Structures are given as structure tokens and as C-alpha cells.
Amino acid sequence: MTDTIFQKIIDKELPADIVYEDDISLVFKDINPVAPTHLLIIPKKRIEKVSDSTKEDEELLGHLLLVAGEVARKLGLEDTFRLVINNGEGAQQTVFHLHIHLISGRKLSWPPG
């Protein structure tokens, strides 16, 4: 597996506007935002896509969602954000390192996509 841009951000080889970091995860601003607030929440462990996760990743996956809530509260977004996970090329995943988009700051329509 070659390093993704996200791994290079984790390793501090590439700069990012980091909003939150702990031993397990990293949250930073998307460089191509689709809304005024567009963050990426990633695990430091490399999982290419959510469908590649295993039972071993259960705690990590839950942690990512808790981090999303914590960051949203800190930014005052409480109940005005959407979380999106694209899984695979057919779902428009472009970086193959699991990531959750936290999107807020504009009217979001349904259904998405």
C-alpha cells in the first residue's frame, strides 16, 4: 500500500488546517470544501474504506463518530451538520483512507447525491 495524502498529513509530511487531534484520529479542514464548514475526520490507522473495516475496528469506528459530535459541539454546530462516508470509486471516494466528511453552514437537501 502506498501512502495516501491523508497518511502524509498524519505523518506531518504535508500541512493541513488541523481542528482536532488525539492518539486515534485527526480532524482537518477539507481543501475543496462543499460548504462553509467542511471537515474530514480520519483514523490514524489505515483502513482504505469502511467496507474494509472488521470487528477489530468497532471501537475505532465508534470513536470517529464521537469525535464528530465533539468537534461539532465545539464549533457550535450541534444539530446542523451532516456526516458522509463515501465507500469506493462508485460512491465518489477519491482518497482510499477511510474518512468522514462533516458538512455544515449551508442548507442541505435530501436526498443527497
- What is the pLDDT, as a whole number, of residue 1? 62
Range of the domain at 17: 5-104
Could you tell me if 39 and 102 are in contact, meaning their C-beta atoms sit under 8 angstroms apart? yes
CB-CB contact of 47 with 98 (8 Å): yes
What pLDDT is attached to residue 2?
Answer: 78
Domain count, the chain: 1
**Position 45 in a domain:** yes
State phi, psi for 68 to the nearest 5 degrees. Answer: -55, -45
Q: Please tell me the predicted confidence (pLDDT) of residue 113.
A: 64
Whether 109 maps to a domain, the answer reads: no
State how far the alpha carbon of 85 is from the alpha carbons of 11, 12, 15, 33, 72, in Å: 23, 24, 23, 15, 17
Give the predicted TM-score (pTM) of the model.
Answer: 0.95
**10-residue mean pLDDT series, the chain (113 residues):** 90 97 98 97 97 98 98 94 97 97 94 76
Q: Which of 38, 97, 99, 101 is catalytic?
A: 99
- Per the annotation, the verdict on 99 as an active-site residue is yes
HSE value, Cβ hemisphere, 13 Å, CA-based, for 74: 9
